[in-house]
Structure 1
Amino acid sequence: MHRTVSVCVALVLLVMTVRRTNGDIPVDETEHEQLLAVVPCIRRLCEKYFRSERAMKGSLAIINIKPDASTFQQHILRSFNEDPRHELGVMVKDASRPHWNASHVTEKAKNYLMLIADSSALAAPIRQLRRLPTWNPLAQVVVLFTTELTPLVFEIEVRNVLQELFDNSVLNVNVMVQRYNTSVLEVWTWFPYESGGCADNIDRLRLVDECEYIFQAADPERNVRAAWVFRERHYFSDYGPKIPKYYNYCPLKVSTSIWEPFVVGNASHIEKGLEVLMLDAITARMRLVPVFSVIESALTTARITADNQTGLYADVLQRRTDLMVGGLHENPISRKLLSATIPYYQDDLTWCVPTARHAPKWLNVFIIFNVWTWLIAIGIIFAAAALLYRFNYVERLYRVNYTWMLLQSLAFSLSVYAHYWPRRVSIRLFLIGYMFYGLHWNAAYHSFLISVLTRPRYEPQISTVQQAIQAEFGFVGAENTLGHFDKPDANSRHIATHYQVCKNLDECLGRLRCERTIAIAMSRAHSSNSRAIGEAELYCFPKVENIYTYSVSMLAKKDFHLLPKINELIRRISESGLLGKWQKESEKIRIDQDEEDGAGGSGGEKSGEGQTILRLDHIEGAFYLGAAGLILALIAFIGEVLYFRAKRRYRWRDNLLDRYLL
């Protein structure tokens, strides 16, 4: 080869042997000569299709031919290999033998040439080609019948070929047929979207080219020399491209599950969603009409298999729908069975648990200060009471006991009224200092009290798998998630042992309202947008605790011919920033009301101005303290009465205890 092939383009000659031996198609001498006569036209038309504006220049000819190739096939092989321009390289293959590992080839083929005796010979070579990394269903495909077809058989065979390739998502097909009992080579094809068609049926066969290689006799009068010339007729310009820019408002059938924020709605009506808005924009640009069908929720959570009858991908595999959406991502099975669009959203699977409940509110009046601060404050009250009791004893102003002076000291420390009028200046100066201390203490207490009352406290939040295991949580999720815990580490083994399969994830999310020891494997995007539960009622683990992270994309039937156009539009949408805008539009508006069971929020009811309205439970600690004081007072009163009666009955003498009780 005299020049480097710039683009790896597979030109595949898939050949059924045509020989005049037992087991092959019988060919007489005249028919054999007519077959050889069309070889120049074959090469000429292939150059036209393979070098047209619809194909890439530069081709590698991969010829699939049996070892006992016929003369006709050998002539075709020579015509490409011995071209003086050397624009095609030739590589020989055999479709009947297993292909060697071709994983090192990365570029897609741009052109194919398939030689067959009849339409039944097409299936095996296509199976081989589909397994190669160079397989490209959007390439230019030329199919050549190596036998003459009668008018009765011709249309049936051509339709069978077009249908076989269409079933493999190949639409750019031109079929070469030798006109019966002539040396004229005809090229037939179909246009999937012609006359309002929707690429669902092969309605009309169209003749696009005719070619005949004939010997032109010399004509001295017209100064024409004897030579072999091509006589051609071209009709391709009468029709549009095979895959047009617009698609006649044909239906684009989409299977989906209801999965917020990607698809919002119910089984009877699709409202909105990130992917719904994206499909609306794509179909409007391509002039398609999206038609949605809702998948049962049990299918979306079941174990993913290659079952083409009842599995998750059954609708696409059976060609009942063209696309699947609903926050999907690729997996090893989908990569083999389906094609995916470019990703446009990143999501992750994580564990979601109930939010931590409010801590007991009766402690609100005590947690303002720590234990040592309270002990020092209480110690100051008792010490000040002892000083006041001693001052009163020295001045002999009032006949009171230590308990009474303790109440006076408490009143001073709380900056409230207390009835005590000392005479000495030193005692009054002490009381002034003590009153300033009480003023500062009272201001600090009330300011911190407001902060504590309006900022609710919570119990420790479960935020890791290890914490959930230690708290004896149960683990729930979809069946297709269980495979991610088939790992040797202790956490994975524990989860796999205690894992419960959930067929409806939204119903399981609702269980978080009433079950405090349950963790659900859930999409982070869906957990924050699900209508089954408020966003403030669940807590999802941080990203470092993710089960796995994945890219969301649409899944299409294998080698879907509209996939390149859809990918192009998705790329434009992503670059324009519309995805972020649609994401906000697809997220549902939440009005989270705080509940007494600690569902999060502000810890109090909100007024119309956004202020926190304190409820009884916010200050119940004060009532508990008051109740405890009343109970202690009642016990003390009963004790005093009993002591007084006992003293009178048994005529006890006055003692030190009388000073504190009587």
Structure 2
Amino acid sequence: MLLALLPSSVNGIVYVRIRNERGPTAARAGIQCLELLSHTYFNMRETTQIENIVIFYLQNLSSPAREILLGYLQLHHTGYDIHEDDDDDEDGEPESQFQLKLMSDSVSSDDLRRAQFMDHKQIDYYVIVIDSFEGLQSALDRISATAAFNPRGKFVVLYNNPNDRDSNARLANRALGHLFVGHHSVNVLFAFAIDATSYHVYTGDPYHGATDCGQMKALKVATVVNGSFASRALSTAMINIPKVPPELESCTFLLCTRVAPPFIDLDCSRGLELQIMDLLRESMKFKVNVSCSTMDRGELEPDGSWSDLLGLMRADECDIIAGGFSPDFDVHDAFGSTTLYLQDYYTWFVPAAGPDARWKLLVYIFEPTTWEAFAGVLFVSALVWRLVAHYLPELAAHRELSMCFLNTWSVFLCISANNRPECNALRLLFMGLTLYALNVTTIYTSILITMLTNPPLAYQMDTIEEILASGVPIGGRLDSEDWFINDFADDRLVSEQYNATSEFQPSLDNLQAVVEGKRSLLMSRLYVRNTKYNGLVHGLSRDVLVTQIEMIMEKGFPLLPKFNRILSNLIDMGIMQKLWNDFLYNVTILDRIRAHRALSEADIIAASPEVVLTLDHLQSAFALYGIGMCLCVVVFLLEVLSKTRW
């Protein structure tokens, strides 16, 4: 009909229509773009485990994003075996790359967190196809809720929306910033469809800037047209540039620390962990701002938030936290951590037993069995004296049993005897007994000198059972209480009485309370050794726990892999052992030298090791003499009663 209306010179009509942005050509170009980026960016590492890839399925995608996702998933659901015909794979052998996993937004992020079965093997690669920024947010909310979420994994995000072809730079900045700030991920490629078959590819560059380190900047690295790079060599090199340079001279990271000597000292300028951070800082040339606090590591709250230092780090107010922190499963599920580099030893601390009562020193010289033997010798000697005197022409006074006991006791004490025998036979017995007593006294005196200069201590409480039986309140840090929450009966008793209030935290004031016997604290041996109370409090002989020390950061912290490599090298080379020995010997000795230099002359005289005998020391001697006198009086009374005629 139209031809009939046209002039006779017109032979045909050409129909011109708008290019189909949603047809199979657009879908095929998107699938090829994903294939190309996956093959270029998802580089296989030498590993004994199969690397895995997650393809996220978003419901209600518009066309052609839906067709791109389904086509890509259909190609690879059988195990991701592909044949490459490009220059990098000339032999054409099949290349089995990844284990495929599928996630969907049909399950809420809360349900994923509460899932009973959780795969803890971290995901290596992620592929997400979206048609809106909200779709990316929804996918990341669910991906990050799983235990296998890996912020350092590689992401390929493809955006295709025929109604939006001009916001490539703005949307790339927004998407890359959301992944960087919200999920601490920097290994991201963002492909934006500028038409049906062409894509601009962006990646993040937060750490290469000279003045804006830590600020996400979108960098265009490639253009893909119909599944091919516009410049293959340049695009491949740009895509695989490391996101974190070997040196970060323009970057400053925030190190939040808990005061925990000797790892972090009170003035926040010294400590074993600060020395380790200095080694890391010198290696990678970054800067650190250190802040100190008395806040604890932090615990997971019922609402899902974190308290104390972990809460500050989750709010991006800290990049790294340190302060003698030990590994914890709950923390490791949500945060990253360094290689374990030091050990710490925890035990209960009680008042150190002081010197025993001075009047007991003269008794403690010999064992009780020795004193019993001496008493037996004394009794037998007195009876022999009485028996010999009975058959000799001695004075009547020398034959009395009480007098024999008194004379024998006086000889044993090496003091003048009341009456000396007149017969030679009894004198020989007297001389032999005197020589024996002199020998015993000499030994006693020689040991007495050592006993006075190094007096024995009173009984020392040394078990947790004794602490619990004494009724002394016990407690320590909140993160240490987890060690006692188990099925062991002894640990349950400790857990029931455990206090984590401020009065039971390691501090000098609380250590003074331990010295006074008001409470018992679970503390680090190293912490106590680094204070003036070392020697004034006693740590139980048995360690309650021995734990490793680590620094904590977000899982996606960019320097974490390099930190772990450096720390492993420092351990292998013995640098960590040297830092440990420096603390145990050099620092401890120097601190004590400084402490002694600060003493006044009066303090030095007061602390001298000279032993001054007091009346308390002489109580033992008078007590022994009094016991002998009482014994003689008893014997005398018995003798009088036996000879009295009633």
Asked if Structure 1 and Structure 2 have the same fold, meaning a TM-score greater than 0.5 normalized by the shorter chain, the answer is yes
In the other structure, the counterpart of 2:3 is: none
In the other structure, the counterpart of 1:278 is: 276
Instruction: Give, in angstroms, the shift of residue 510 of structure 1.
Output: 1.6
Match of 1:359 among 340, 356, 360: 356
**Retained in 2: the 8 A contact 1:43–1:79?**
no
* Amino acid corresponding to residue 350 of structure 2 in structure 1: V
* Amino acid corresponding to residue 20 of structure 2 in structure 1: E
- Residue deviations 1:478-531 (CA, integer Å, cap 9, x gap): 45555665667776666566555431431222202222x6322323433333x2
Instruction: Give, in angstroms, the shift of residue 313 of structure 1.
Output: 1.5
Counterparts in 2 of 1:73-472, with a 5 A limit? 73-77=69-73, 83-85=82-84, 86-87=94-95, 91=100, 93-98=102-107, 107-132=121-146, 134-147=148-161, 152-167=166-181, 168-178=183-193, 180-181=194-195, 183-196=197-210, 199-203=213-217, 205-213=218-226, 231-232=230-231, 234=234, 237=237, 240-266=241-267, 270-297=268-295, 299=296, 308=305, 311-369=308-366, 370=368, 371-379=371-379, 382-383=382-383, 386=386, 394=393, 409=408, 412-414=411-413, 425-472=424-471
Instruction: Give, in angstroms, the shift of residue 362 of structure 1.
Output: 0.3
Instruction: Give, in angstroms, the shift of residue 251 of structure 1.
Output: 1.8
* Amino acid corresponding to residue 293 of structure 1 in structure 2: S
Report the secondary structure of 2:152's partner residue: coil
* Alpha-carbon spacing, 1:61–1:624, altered in 2? closer, same or farther (3 Å): closer
Structure 1: runs of 5+ lacking an equivalent? 1-26, 215-228, 594-604, 637-654, 658-662
* Amino acid corresponding to residue 616 of structure 2 in structure 1: E
**Retained in 2: the 8 A contact 1:272–1:586?**
no
Tell me the distance in 2 between the aligned counterparts of 1:303 and 1:52. 36
Instruction: Give, in angstroms, the shift of residue 132 of structure 1.
Output: 4.2
* Alpha-carbon spacing, 1:447–1:301, altered in 2? closer, same or farther (3 Å): farther
Match of 2:20 among 13, 29, 35: 29
**Retained in 2: the 8 A contact 1:364–1:453?**
yes
Counterparts in 2 of 1:34-45, with a 5 A limit? 34=26, 36-37=28-29, 39-45=31-37
* Amino acid corresponding to residue 224 of structure 2 in structure 1: C
* Alpha-carbon spacing, 1:380–1:454, altered in 2? closer, same or farther (3 Å): farther
Tell me the distance in 2 between the aligned counterparts of 1:402 and 1:230. 122
- Residue deviations 1:546-573 (CA, integer Å, cap 9, x gap): 2x55432211123322212112222222
Instruction: Give, in angstroms, the shift of residue 423 of structure 1.
Output: 7.1
**Retained in 2: the 8 A contact 1:117–1:147?**
yes
- Residue deviations 1:42-86 (CA, integer Å, cap 9, x gap): 423432222488999986554333577744444444666684455
Structure-2-length-normalised TM-score: 0.74
**Retained in 1: the 8 A contact 2:300–2:307?**
no
Tell me the distance in 1 between the aligned counterparts of 2:528 and 2:539. 8
Identify the range of structure 1 (358-367 vs 342-351) with the bigger mean alpha-carbon deviation: 342-351
Report the secondary structure of 2:429's partner residue: helix
In the other structure, the counterpart of 1:620 is: 616
* Alpha-carbon spacing, 1:430–1:562, altered in 2? closer, same or farther (3 Å): same
Identify the range of structure 1 (534-543 vs 27-36) with the bigger mean alpha-carbon deviation: 27-36
- Residue deviations 1:82-112 (CA, integer Å, cap 9, x gap): 8445535685735222399795856543333
**Retained in 2: the 8 A contact 1:102–1:132?**
no
Counterpart check, 1:523 vs 2:524: yes
**Retained in 2: the 8 A contact 1:415–1:435?**
yes
How many residue pairs were aligned?
575
Report the secondary structure of 2:325's partner residue: coil
Instruction: Give, in angstroms, the shift of residue 428 of structure 1.
Output: 4.6
Instruction: Give, in angstroms, the shift of residue 122 of structure 1.
Output: 0.9
Tell me the distance in 1 between the aligned counterparts of 2:588 and 2:452. 28
Tell me the distance in 1 between the aligned counterparts of 2:475 and 2:396. 75
In the other structure, the counterpart of 1:3 is: none
* Amino acid corresponding to residue 472 of structure 2 in structure 1: F
Tell me the distance in 1 between the aligned counterparts of 2:395 and 2:145. 110
* Alpha-carbon spacing, 1:445–1:290, altered in 2? closer, same or farther (3 Å): same
Q: CA RMSD in A?
A: 4.6
Instruction: Give, in angstroms, the shift of residue 333 of structure 1.
Output: 3.9
Instruction: Give, in angstroms, the shift of residue 126 of structure 1.
Output: 1.9
Instruction: Give, in angstroms, the shift of residue 163 of structure 1.
Output: 0.9
Report the secondary structure of 2:231's partner residue: strand
Instruction: Give, in angstroms, the shift of residue 208 of structure 1.
Output: 1.6
Tell me the distance in 2 between the aligned counterparts of 1:483 and 1:328. 13
- Residue deviations 1:602-642 (CA, integer Å, cap 9, x gap): xxx9999x99532325x734256449969999xx9xxxxxx
**Retained in 1: the 8 A contact 2:362–2:621?**
no
In the other structure, the counterpart of 1:650 is: none
**Retained in 2: the 8 A contact 1:102–1:133?**
no
**Retained in 1: the 8 A contact 2:173–2:216?**
yes
**Retained in 1: the 8 A contact 2:514–2:537?**
yes
In the other structure, the counterpart of 2:559 is: 562
**Retained in 2: the 8 A contact 1:317–1:337?**
no
**Retained in 2: the 8 A contact 1:40–1:79?**
no
Counterpart check, 1:510 vs 2:505: no
**Retained in 1: the 8 A contact 2:165–2:195?**
no
* Alpha-carbon spacing, 1:484–1:89, altered in 2? closer, same or farther (3 Å): closer
Instruction: Give, in angstroms, the shift of residue 166 of structure 1.
Output: 0.8
- Residue deviations 1:227-275 (CA, integer Å, cap 9, x gap): xx86435256479521221112522211111111211123xxx132221
Tell me the distance in 1 between the aligned counterparts of 2:208 and 2:452. 73
**Retained in 2: the 8 A contact 1:95–1:124?**
no
**Retained in 1: the 8 A contact 2:389–2:426?**
no
Identify the range of structure 1 (316-325 vs 358-367) with the bigger mean alpha-carbon deviation: 358-367
* Alpha-carbon spacing, 1:308–1:196, altered in 2? closer, same or farther (3 Å): farther
* Amino acid corresponding to residue 465 of structure 1 in structure 2: I
**Retained in 2: the 8 A contact 1:365–1:449?**
yes
In the other structure, the counterpart of 2:42 is: 50
Tell me the distance in 1 between the aligned counterparts of 2:438 and 2:447. 14
- Residue deviations 1:160-179 (CA, integer Å, cap 9, x gap): 1101211212111122223x
Instruction: Give, in angstroms, the shift of residue 473 of structure 1.
Output: 2.5
- Residue deviations 1:269-292 (CA, integer Å, cap 9, x gap): x13222111111112112122221
**Retained in 2: the 8 A contact 1:40–1:213?**
yes
Instruction: Give, in angstroms, the shift of residue 372 of structure 1.
Output: 1.3
Structure-1-length-normalised TM-score: 0.73
* Amino acid corresponding to residue 48 of structure 1 in structure 2: T
**Retained in 2: the 8 A contact 1:354–1:537?**
yes
In the other structure, the counterpart of 2:539 is: 540
Tell me the distance in 2 between the aligned counterparts of 1:39 and 1:613. 91
* Amino acid corresponding to residue 475 of structure 1 in structure 2: I
Instruction: Give, in angstroms, the shift of residue 302 of structure 1.
Output: 8.6
Tell me the distance in 2 between the aligned counterparts of 1:245 and 1:571. 17
Instruction: Give, in angstroms, the shift of residue 465 of structure 1.
Output: 2.5
Instruction: Give, in angstroms, the shift of residue 351 of structure 1.
Output: 2.0
Percentage identity across paired residues of the two chains: 18
Structure 2: runs of 5+ lacking an equivalent? 1-17, 85-93, 594-602, 633-638, 642-646
Tell me the distance in 2 between the aligned counterparts of 1:425 and 1:628. 30
Instruction: Give, in angstroms, the shift of residue 182 of structure 1.
Output: 7.2
* Alpha-carbon spacing, 1:165–1:89, altered in 2? closer, same or farther (3 Å): same
Match of 2:57 among 43, 58, 65: 65
Report the secondary structure of 2:269's partner residue: strand
* Amino acid corresponding to residue 319 of structure 1 in structure 2: D
Instruction: Give, in angstroms, the shift of residue 133 of structure 1.
Output: 5.0
* Alpha-carbon spacing, 1:308–1:488, altered in 2? closer, same or farther (3 Å): closer
* Amino acid corresponding to residue 446 of structure 1 in structure 2: T
